[in-house]
Chains A and B, each alone.
Chain A
């Protein structure tokens, strides 16, 4: 038992991914689903950075992780705008209630 190994970080990433998947599958609240997506993206980031550290590949993994963070920010901006539009149209952000394309 010395330093944490690559496997330690990968297990954390796998658990984060599973919890995010559970969140996305069970939520009816659009914001809750977005939070699940954030969990999944963070699980991917933990894996990227862990591989960059342990596989002697320079900083490529960290660069990809920064791209993921950036796309997550864009996704959050657009997703939350859609949630606000949903709320204006349906008075709720329950995804089951949004069953019409034409408002």
Chain B
């Protein structure tokens, strides 16, 4: 077994294991920290796929931004000190059946498809190519995305502020 494969299994185990913890955890704070571990594992998989820029984006935006925002929301909305179950789950049986069927269908489709992979180039930095793509072929979606982010920020402020003067 090559080193790359061993690293892959390590990262995949970390990712899937902590994703299981997210899915079944009884406490929402534990779920948030397991989600952090999942996101770190996914960032590692990106590095393994020679997507260095995307791995850094994953760390900065997801682990540094989205997750901290989520923890803030948990702290603001939960009486954390109470030890009662805060992350109740309903309908575990039917959901497990549905999800199992979906997963089986996906894995079956994956196994049966002929993927026709190209010759694998050696890992190389992709930051330059990503930047050129953003300012070339994807310039319009890039600008639209900045507008979306602005609207999301303004919308979040409008939705979450307290009504004053009422």
Determine which of A7, A59, A69 lies in contact with B115 in the assembled complex, contact meaning CB atoms within 8 Å.
Answer: A7
Q: Given that A4-B5, A16-B19 are known contacts, is A22 also in contact with B74, CB under 8 Å in the complex?
A: no
| Contact in complex: A26, B73 (CB < 8 Å) | no
| Contact in complex: A76, B4 (CB < 8 Å) | no
B residues within 8 Å of A by Cβ?
Answer: 1-2, 4-5, 8, 12, 15-16, 19-20, 22-23, 28, 31-32, 35, 38-39, 42, 45-46, 48-51, 53-54, 57-58, 61-62, 65-66, 69-70, 72-74, 76-78, 86-92, 95-96, 98-100, 102-103, 106-107, 110-111, 115, 117-121, 126, 129-130, 133-134, 138, 141, 145, 148-149, 152-153, 155-157, 159-160, 162
| Contact in complex: B89, A28 (CB < 8 Å) | yes
Determine which of B15, B39, B78, B130 lies in contact with A66 in the assembled complex, contact meaning CB atoms within 8 Å.
Answer: B130
Can you list 12 contacts pairing A with B, beta carbon distance less than 8 Å?
Answer: A15-B19, A15-B103, A16-B15, A19-B19, A56-B119, A65-B51, A69-B62, A73-B152, A77-B69, A78-B156, A81-B159, A85-B160
| Contact in complex: A80, B16 (CB < 8 Å) | no
A residues within 8 Å of B by Cβ?
Answer: 1-12, 14-23, 25-29, 31-32, 34-36, 38-39, 42, 45-46, 49-50, 52-56, 58-60, 62-63, 65-67, 69-78, 80-85, 87-88, 93-94
| Contact in complex: B20, A19 (CB < 8 Å) | yes
A contacts with B: majority SS: helix
Instruction: Give min CB distance, B28 to chain A, whole Å.
Output: 6
Determine which of A2, A12, A32 lies in contact with B15 in the assembled complex, contact meaning CB atoms within 8 Å.
Answer: A12
| Contact in complex: B115, A54 (CB < 8 Å) | yes
| Contact in complex: A70, B149 (CB < 8 Å) | yes
Instruction: Give min CB distance, B29 to chain A, whole Å.
Output: 10
Taking CB atoms, residues of chain B closer than 8 Å to A7 are 110-111, 115
Q: Given that A42-B38, A69-B57, A81-B159 are known contacts, is A76 also in contact with B22, CB under 8 Å in the complex?
A: no
| Contact in complex: B22, A35 (CB < 8 Å) | yes
Taking CB atoms, residues of chain A closer than 8 Å to B153 are 77
Taking CB atoms, residues of chain B closer than 8 Å to A85 are 159-160
